[in-house]
Amino acid sequence: MVDNKALTTAEVMAPAELLMHYRRIIEISNQLSSTYDQMSLLKKIVSAAKELIQTETASIMLLDEATGQLRFAIASNLKPSEMEEIVIPIEGSIAGWIVTHGEPRVIEDLAKEQSHYQGVDKKIGFQSRNLLGVPMRTHKRIIGVMQAMNKRDGYRFTDDDVVTLRTLASQAAIAIENARMFQQSDFIAEMVHELRTPLAALKASTALLQRPELPEGKRSDIIGTMKSETERLITLTDDFLNVARLESGRVQLTVEVFDLQKLITESVDVVTHQATAKGIQVIVPQIDLQAEADRGKTKQVLLNLLTNAIKYNRKDGTITVGVQAQQEGEAQFLQIAVTDTGYGISREHQKNMFQKFYRVPTLENVERGTGLGLTICKHIVEAHGGRIWLESEEGVGSTFAFTIPAVEDLA
């Protein structure tokens, strides 16, 4: 499928031009080891690609392991808000072909190319004429695609262009891998830090229990503490494992058709005791809708949202579960919303809610938690191709909503 004709029409580069070429590449290699800001490095790589290959634009698309789709990490002709909205399908796009085949691709006339994905041009009013794309490889796998589009008028892509873009793409891949490794080590550091608190409490408790003069009443208090700290350790390790598994992209969904009403009732039953203890009433809808998703994982999301709605609710408050069917593009989804009458979350904190370990500072001492529950929910929902979001007003309450695929025929 590679247009080999284009690859062999190499124009010979003047020695001075060639020297400039390699200078730029070496410059970027040097920055690789000294720049920790991934975005500024990717910007430099993309602008070097544009300049050296002499194209109108250059971009990097990364593969989202969970959803199997490509998204822009950077593009010289796109604003961040535009990049966020655009999803490039693997099937039916040239970038998708490059990722699956692991080979470069030159297309001199995109108008004649059926597999060209038109979505981006339509969205931003850009006219793509030709492109050169190469896979981005780390030592383990292909993580995305780097593309240069619209070669200077009257010129064709050359063999040198392919070599240049490949070199820049491998540098970008190293930069991204480095950043991912840093993030991972941050996660491990945070995890160990979180484990230390319950472990220290357990150590102190055992030391106290060993004292022969300890009164009997005190002894049972200490055992109570040990029990709750052990439970906390179990929750923490479960959450850590969940996040690590979901982030590695190794989790497989077991998709089945199931009755959503049943799943909601089952989940509410699990938390009823906790809700009643706080005088909270849970209102459940009467629906007849079938979902097509991983039942166990959908339940995990719903349980997490219900538990939060209890934890961060006021005494004698209410929780309302709402469901509605909705069309998103070609697909049918079910939207499940959990609304509480609790503390609410200010705008400033809302944007961080799905980040790992994030907990609203003012609520940190109200309830115990890991700050990982919503991260886990987001991963699960997005692995299904769904969305999760919140609407909240401080002092009034919050609604957390997510979508999962509905069974094809909603009737």
How many angstroms separate the CA atoms of 363 and 150, rounded?
Answer: 52
Q: Among 373, 380, 382, 407, which residue sits at the site for ligand ADP (rule: CB under 6 A)?
A: 373
Name the minimum Å distance from CB 380 to ligand ADP.
13
Is 363 among the residues that bind ligand ADP (CB under 6 A)? yes
**Chain residues 292-321 in contact with ligand ADP, contact rule CB under 6 A:** 304, 308-309, 312
State the first-to-last Cα distance of the chain, in angstroms, to the nearest integer.
Answer: 43
* Total chain residues near ligand ADP (CB under 6 A): 20
The phi, psi pair for 131, rounded to 5°, reads -155, 155
Q: Kindly tell me which residue out of 104, 369, 385, 386 binds ligand ADP, with binding defined by CB under 6 A.
A: 369
Tell me the C-alpha distance between 223 and 228, whole Å: 9
15-34 helix and 159-209 helix, angle to the nearest 10 degrees: 0
Q: How far apart are CA 104 and CA 114, in angstroms?
A: 17
Distance CA 36, CA 272 (A): 48
Residue 374 within binding range of ligand ADP, rule CB under 6 A: yes
| H or E element at residue 22 | helix 15-34
Draw the binding track, 318-357, toward ligand ADP (x: CB under 6 A; -: no contact): ----------------------x-xx-x-------x----
Contact with ligand ADP (CB under 6 A): which of 88, 191, 226, 372?
372
Closer residue to ligand ADP, CB minimum distance, 167 or 308: 308
Contact between 240 and ligand ADP per CB under 6 A? no
Where helices occur in 260-366 by DSSP H, the ranges are 260-277, 295-311, 347-350
DSSP 75: E
Per CB under 6 A, which of residues 206..235 are in contact with ligand ADP? none
Q: Closest Cα to residue 107, out of 129, 81, 76, 77?
A: 129
Report, in Å, the least distance between residue 350 CB and ligand ADP: 10
Minimum distance from CB of 318 to ligand ADP (Å)?
A: 12
Binding site for ligand ADP (CB under 6 A): 304, 308-309, 312, 340, 342-343, 345, 353, 358-360, 363, 369-374, 398
